[in-house]
Amino acid sequence: MRSWGNYPKVEHAAVIPLHWRHLGLPRIEGTMLPSGLARSYGDSCLNEGGTLLATAGLDRLIAFDRASGVLRCEAGMSLAQILQVAVPAGWFLPVVPGTSQVTVGGAIANDIHGKNHHAAGSFGEHVRRLELVRSDGTRRECSPDSETALFRATIGGLGLTGLVTWAELQLRAIASPAFEVETMRMENLEHFFALSEASAGFEYHVAWVDALARGGDAGRGVFIRANHSTVAEASQAPSDSHLAVPFDLPAATLNRHSVALFNAMYRARAPRHWREERVPYSRYLFPLDGVAHWNRMYGEPGFVQHQCVVPRADAPSRVRSILEAVAAAGDASFLSVLKVFGDREPAGLLSFARPGVTLALDLPMRGAQTLELLERLDTIVRDAGGAIYPAKDARMSPGTFRASFPRWGELEALRDPAFSSSFWRRVTP
Amino acid sequence: MSFERIVIFGATSAIAQATARRVAARGVRLHLVARDAAKLEAVRADLAARGATVTAAVADLDVTTHHAKLLDEAERALGGSIDAALIAQGTLPDQAACERDFTRVEAEIRTNFLGPASLASELANRFEPRGAGCIVAISSVAGDRGRASNYVYGSAKGALSIFLGGLRSRLHASGVHVVTVKPGFVDTPMTAAFKKGALWSPPERIARGIVAALEHGGTEVYLPWFWWPILFVIRHLPEAIFVRLKI
Ligand SMILES: Cc1cc2nc3c(=O)[nH]c(=O)nc-3n(C[C@H](O)[C@H](O)[C@H](O)COP(=O)(O)OP(=O)(O)OC[C@H]3O[C@@H](n4cnc5c(N)ncnc54)[C@H](O)[C@@H]3O)c2cc1C
Ligand SMILES: NC(=O)c1ccc[n+]([C@@H]2O[C@H](COP(=O)([O-])OP(=O)(O)OC[C@H]3O[C@@H](n4cnc5c(N)ncnc54)[C@H](OP(=O)(O)O)[C@@H]3O)[C@@H](O)[C@H]2O)c1
């Protein structure tokens, strides 16, 4: 079992597939951790030496009210599977990440956010109820008004409070499965903040950043904003993915030259004034899902993500420092994404998404040199009073974790004693 | 061909669930039969939420004397005669335990051969006078040749394949279809303990093949297709060589 970043590589004592939600937890020696589709990058979905409970077989719908958009399903159901059922009925998930290949359980455990955080908040805000199975044999139905503490701890709870067997979600109505997308070239960081401000009328917006640009060009890239289309048309089923990276490519495939070339080409295609187009939701929201196993482009050593959030006030200077540090190190981040989060109360005890500006970087794993760079980035984030995203992390220090999530002790108190993860043991030694 | 009323035996099987999901959104009527009430309810609710009209009945399909009654019940629940039936129940025996204790072999033959054959017979007798209907039963590539590692399962599935072949010939002129499904390795609860490799398929892939066979009047289908050439070779190896192979 590997996480999406293919780093770190650890062995598990067992991987037990679960198929029926009414059956209890398996009796095992040592600790267990639920596992979804392993789209987390680092070690938060791994449990070295322990057991993983593979939940992808818990993929049944329980109820779907097509009039109110309330959908209850088992926790191993993927967001792609939900959209297949919901979209033809005129409903959409209120929050989706950059891939549809994550489970409901995974979306809850990391309290994931999407390009619409400023408008819709995080995934956890739309969870009406969920069931938690604990190793003491109890089943707890948790919601905003019953078992509240356990509910808040489970949202963003990193799989540590027990096994989520099902959840009930409030979907949002759509008139069309398409998106109205506007794209424009972005010159620098100032431009990014100006465009974000000017795009309040758009439910979704995010920027792709050329992390190789320095000085006055820092922050140049492409700004993309969108709304659900209101033009009703026949719903299109997302096509199955046909492209795939069949095996790990040589680690040198993504180097600063190939990334520079890609960045230049990508930016050159973006216009100087808003280009408007109507596109299928899968192409706008999940462009990478078209190429299965794209993570293999990074080869055997794998890669690491670094996603941080810094408070809005001095975000421009902090983001600039981070981009400068990366560019100075000569490392090439292929997928660099910048977004302003909304001013919303986090839904969970340890939610990552919070008011501020978030920057996500992808870096090929080159050992000590990469780890040192990331440590420097962490220092910038900590000085700013920001946080690092556990879903993307494989190496932050316990100190950085505690600074990012000062309420971690409350989660530790509610953690199921039989549940643990490589990540949790690393950041709370 | 379009199917409106479908009955599924062993409906809690992973392959059966994946098959039912493929047709559920078309708004068909499904009647599900399985032996575990809690599992059956989970499957029923899933298919209903996907848009099918679903009824369900709990039954141990080893009890062949109840099969006629189960079909009466199914027709009542579906509100008319059955268009298609999927027979999916099965168990993977502990081969070593069967070698020590023949009563286990008898039980395995009951579940994997007698039960399915009884249901197929009962369905055939109802479909034949109508001159319509489709019987789909899940056998296995394991039934194509006896192997040291699982010949109890293999002989039950082999008997089922031959039974279905005969039934198909008997009903050929009447317009009733019989489909023998022969999956290779499928990643389901039945095979949870096995190490998975390149030859393994997800149940959804088998389901796609089953629905295609149902719609296009397949007869004997290897799923996925690459098992056909593999089994062609295995069936034609001389016995003198085959007995030495550790497969
Ligand atoms: C291409 C790509 C784009 C992404 N974009 C975004 C993005 O825009 N925003 C964002 O927030 N994230 C994003 N992510 C990260 C991803 O959304 C999260 O890592 C998500 O949690 C992965 O879900 P999963 O089903 O794969 O769970 P896993 O990675 O397998 O597990 C994640 C966590 O969920 C827990 N868990 C899983 N199932 C259960 C359960 N049933 N009960 C209790 N705990 C459970 C696990 O224990 C673990 O702690 C992206 C990832 C990729 C690969
Ligand atoms: N998986 C493979 O590799 C593979 C390969 C070739 C053929 N097959 C065949 O495919 C079919 C479906 O199996 P699967 O892979 O989907 O595995 P599965 O999920 O384990 O399904 C087997 C189902 O049969 C049911 N069953 C067993 N005995 C029964 C009885 N007496 N009465 C009623 N139901 C009974 C089981 O019910 P419970 O859950 O209540 O036990 C279970 O739902 C089987 O016939 C199997 O032999 C499988």
**Superfamily per CATH, domain A178-395:** FAD-linked oxidases, C-terminal domain (3.40.462.10)
A176, pLDDT greater than 60? yes
The answer to whether residue B112 scores a pLDDT higher than 50 is yes
Report DSSP letters for B52-80, one per residue.
Answer: -EEEEEE--TT-GGGHHHHHHHHHHHHTS
A43 and A1 in contact (C-beta within 8 Å)? no
Contacts of A64 in chain B (CB under 8 A): 49-50
Q: What pLDDT score does B25 carry?
A: 87
Using one digit for the tens of pLDDT, what is the confidence trace for A194-219?
A: 999 999 999 999 999 998 888 889 99
Does ligand 1 come within 6 angstroms of the Cβ of A34? yes
Kindly report which listed range (A134-148, A251-265, B116-130) carries the lowest average pLDDT score.
Answer: A251-265
Q: Do A60 and B38 touch (CB under 8 A)?
A: no
Which residues from chain A sit within 8 angstroms of residue B43, using beta carbons?
60
A136-169 confidence digits (pLDDT tens): 999 999 999 999 999 999 999 999 999 999 999 9
Q: What is the pLDDT of residues A76-119, one digit of tens each?
A: 999 999 999 999 999 999 999 999 999 999 999 999 999 999 99
d(CA A293, CA A49): 26
What pLDDT, on the 0 to 100 scale, is given for residue A127? 98
Which ligand lies nearest the alpha carbon of B143?
2
For A280, the enclosing helix (H) or strand (E) is strand A275-280
User: Which domain does B45 fall in, by range?
Assistant: 5-242
Query: What does the alpha-carbon distance between residue A203 and residue B19 come to, in Å, rounded to a whole number?
Result: 38
The rounded distance, in Å, linking the Cα atoms of A191 and A198 is 10
Alpha-carbon distances, residue B60 vs A66, A105, B16, B19, B35 (angstroms) = 35, 34, 16, 21, 5
| Residue A123 contacts residue A111 (beta carbons within 8 Å) | yes
d(CA A89, CA A45): 33
Reported as a pLDDT band with limits 50, 70 and 90, residue A365 is: confident
Task: Enumerate the residues of chain B whose CB falls inside 8 A of the CB of residue A88.
Answer: 25
Q: What is the mean pLDDT of residues B157-171?
A: 98
Contacts of A84 (CB under 8 A, 6+ apart): A237, A238
Query: From the CB of B11, is ligand 2 less than 6 Å away?
Result: no
Provide the CA B231 distance to its chain's centre, in angstroms. 19
Task: Calculate the CA A391 to chain-centre distance.
Answer: 6
Looking at A11-116, which runs of residues are DSSP E strands? 14-17, 32-35, 51-54, 61-65, 70-74, 91-92
- In angstroms, the CA A71 to CA A59 distance is 13
Mean pLDDT of A385-404: 97
Q: What is the pLDDT of residues A5-17, one digit of tens each?
A: 888 899 999 999 9
Q: Which of the residues A16, A37, A51, A64 would you substitute to probe the B interface, choosing the one with the greatest number of B C-beta atoms within 10 Å? A: A64
Rounded mean pLDDT, B5-25: 97
Is the CB of A103 inside a 6 Å radius of any atom of ligand 1?
Answer: yes
Average pLDDT value for residue range B57-66: 98
B187 lines ligand 2 (CB under 6 A): no
What are the backbone dihedrals phi and psi of residue B28, each rounded to the nearest 5 degrees, phi first?
A: -75, 170
Q: B74 C-alpha to center of ligand 1: Å?
A: 42
Determine the pLDDT at residue A259: 76
Name the residue of A32, A53, A93, A103 to mutate for ligand 1: max ligand atoms within 8 A of Cβ. A103
pLDDT at A240 over 50: no
CB A41 within 8 A of CB A360: no
Is there a contact between A112 and A102 (Cβ–Cβ < 8 Å)?
yes
- How much is the pLDDT for A234? 52
Q: Is residue B224 one of the residues assigned to a domain?
A: yes
Q: Could you confirm whether B222 is annotated as catalytic?
A: no
Residue B247 lies in a domain: no
- Yes or no: say if A178 and A300 are a contact pair by the CB < 8 Å rule: no
- Show me where the domains of chain A are located: 178-395
Residue A111 near residue A353, CB atoms below 8 Å = yes
Give the residue on A whose Cα is nearest the Cα of B13. A19
CATH number at residue B87: 3.40.50.720
User: Which residue of the set B9, B113, B153, B163 is catalytic?
Assistant: B153
| CA distance readout (Å), A427 to A58, A394, A402 | 30, 10, 8
For the ranges A109-123, A297-311, A392-406, the lowest mean pLDDT is seen at: A297-311
Query: Could you give the number of structural domains in chain B?
Result: 1
- The whole-angstrom separation of Cα A378 and Cα A400 is 7
For residue B13, the CA-to-ligand 2 centroid distance in Å is: 5
Bridge partners for A232 per DSSP: none
Interval B211-218 mean pLDDT? 93
Distance from CA of A145 to the nearest CA of B (A): 26
Q: What is the pTM of this model?
A: 0.95
C-alpha of residue B45 to centroid of ligand 1, in Å: 26
Q: Which of A231-235, A337-341, B41-45, B79-83 has the lowest mean pLDDT?
A: A231-235
Ligand 2 binding pocket includes B201 (Cβ within 6 Å): no
Q: How far is A60 from chain B (nearest CA, A)?
A: 5
In this structure, is residue B162 part of a structural domain? Answer: yes
- Distance (Å, whole) CA B46 – CA B54: 10
How far does A263 lie from chain B, in Å, by closest CA? 36
What pLDDT, on a 0 to 100 scale, did the predictor assign at position A141? 98
Residue B49 to residue A63, Cβ atoms within 8 A: yes
Q: Write the residue in B42, B43, B49 that is nearest to A64 by C-beta.
A: B49
Nearest by CB to A85, which of B43, B45, B50?
B50
Query: What was the pLDDT predicted at A250?
Result: 64
Tell me the chain B residues in contact with residue A18 when contact means C-beta distances shorter than 8 Å. none
Ligand 1 pocket, mutate which of A6, A39, A122, A414 (most atoms under 8 A from CB)? A39
DSSP-assigned letters across all residues of A142-158: EBTTBSHHHHHHHTT-T
B42 and A63: CB-CB below 8 Å?
Answer: no
Angle (CA) B158-B125-B211 rounded to 5° is 60
**ipTM metric:** 0.93
Would you say A221 and A338 are in contact if contact means Cβ atoms under 8 Å apart? yes
Taking the C-alpha atoms of residue B70 and residue B210, their distance in angstroms, rounded to an integer, is 23
Q: Select from B21, B41, B194, B205 the residue whose CB has the most chain A CBs within 10 Å, as the one to mutate to test that interface.
A: B21
pLDDT digits (tens, 9 = 90+) for A326-355: 988 877 777 799 999 999 999 999 999 999
Q: What is the predicted pLDDT for the residue at A77?
A: 98
Residue nearest to atom 21 of ligand 2 (CA): B13
- Chain B residues whose beta carbon lies within 8 Å of the beta carbon of residue A19: 14, 189
A25-76 per-position pLDDT tens digit: 999 999 999 999 999 999 999 999 999 999 999 999 999 999 999 999 999 9
